[in-house]
Amino acid sequence: MKGEKQEIHHTKPIRCIVKLGGAAITCKNELEKINEENLDIVSSQLRQAMMPGWSSSMKVLGMDWSKRHGESEVSGNIEDFVHNANVDSSRFVVVHGAGSFGHFQASKSGVHKGGLDQSLVKAGFVATRISVTTLNLEVVRALAREGIPSIGMSPFSCGWSTKEKNIASADLAVVDKAIDSGFIPVLHGDAVLDKLQGCSILSGDVIIRHLAAHLKPEYVVFLTDVFGVYDRPPTEPNAVLLREIAVGKDGKWSVVKPELQNMDKQVQTTVAAHDTTGGMETKIAEAAMIARLGIDVYIVKAGCRQPQTTH
Amino acid sequence: MKGEKQEIHHTKPIRCIVKLGGAAITCKNELEKINEENLDIVSSQLRQAMMPGWSSSMKVLGMDWSKRHGESEVSGNIEDFVHNANVDSSRFVVVHGAGSFGHFQASKSGVHKGGLDQSLVKAGFVATRISVTTLNLEVVRALAREGIPSIGMSPFSCGWSTKEKNIASADLAVVDKAIDSGFIPVLHGDAVLDKLQGCSILSGDVIIRHLAAHLKPEYVVFLTDVFGVYDRPPTEPNAVLLREIAVGKDGKWSVVKPELQNMDKQVQTTVAAHDTTGGMETKIAEAAMIARLGIDVYIVKAGCRQPQTTH
pLDDT along chain A (311 residues), means of 10: 47 87 90 94 91 74 82 68 68 95 91 93 96 98 95 96 90 93 97 96 92 94 80 79 79 76 57 57 78 89 58 43
Nearest CB to A119 within list B73, B87, B134: B87
Q: How many residues does chain A have?
A: 311
- Look at residue B158 in the predicted model and tell me its pLDDT: 93
> In angstroms, rounded to a whole number, what is the distance separating the alpha carbons of residues B175 and B185?
7
- Look at residue A302 in the predicted model and tell me its pLDDT: 78
Helix, strand, coil percent values for chain B (each to nearest 5) = 30, 20, 50
How close is the nearest chain A Cα to the Cα of B29, in Å?
A: 12
Which pairs with CB-CB distance under 8 Å and at least 24 residues apart come from B106-110? B106/B191, B106/B201, B106/B276, B107/B273, B107/B274, B107/B275, B107/B276, B108/A65, B108/A78, B109/A78, B109/A81
Among candidates B44, B47, B32, B55, which has minimal Cα distance to B106?
B32
* Topology at the third CATH level for domain A16-48+88-228+293-301: Carbamate kinase (3.40.1160)
Sign of CA pseudo-dihedral B120, B125, B126, B129: positive
Q: How many residues does chain B have?
A: 311
DSSP state, B191? Answer: E
> In angstroms, rounded to a whole number, what is the distance separating the alpha carbons of residues B151 and B185?
5
Angle at A126 between CA A124 and CA A127, to 5 degrees: 60
> In angstroms, rounded to a whole number, what is the distance separating the alpha carbons of residues B293 and A139?
42
Contact A157 B161 (CB under 8 A): no
Q: Which residues of B touch A86 (CB under 8 A)?
A: 119
DSSP state, B67? Answer: B
* Measured distance between the N- and C-terminal CA atoms of chain A, rounded to whole angstroms: 3
> In angstroms, rounded to a whole number, what is the distance separating the alpha carbons of residues B12 and A309?
56
- Look at residue A266 in the predicted model and tell me its pLDDT: 59
Task: Kindly give the interhelix angle for A204-215 and A279-292, rounded to the nearest 10 degrees.
Answer: 0
> In angstroms, rounded to a whole number, what is the distance separating the alpha carbons of residues A233 and A244?
17
CA distances from A134 to A100, B128, B152 (A): 11, 17, 11
Q: Could you give the ipTM of this predicted complex?
A: 0.87
Whether the upstream peptide bond of residue B258 has omega within 30° of 0, thus cis, is: yes
Contact A181 B158 (CB under 8 A): no
B75 in A contact zone (CB under 8 Å): no
> In angstroms, rounded to a whole number, what is the distance separating the alpha carbons of residues B235 and B28?
14
Cβ atoms A222, A55 nearer than 8 A: no
> In angstroms, rounded to a whole number, what is the distance separating the alpha carbons of residues A297 and A310?
7
CATH of B16-52+87-227+293-301, one of 3.40.50.1110, 3.40.1160.10, 3.40.50.300, 3.40.50.720: 3.40.1160.10
Stretches in chain B below the pLDDT threshold 50: 4-10, 264, 306-311
Q: Which residues of B touch A69 (CB under 8 A)?
A: 69
How close is the nearest chain B Cα to the Cα of A243, in Å?
A: 38
A256 in B contact zone (CB under 8 Å): no
- Look at residue B75 in the predicted model and tell me its pLDDT: 65
Domain ranges of chain A: 16-48+88-228+293-301
A244-247 and B190-194: which strand pairing?
unpaired
In order, the DSSP letters of A215-261 are: H--SEEEEEESSSS-BSS-TTSTT--B--EEEE-TTS-EEEEESPPS
The annotation places the binding site of B at 98-99, 103, 204, 225, 279, 283
Judge residue A265's burial from the number of C-beta atoms within 10 Å of its C-beta, 0-12 exposed, 13-18 middle, 19 or more buried: exposed
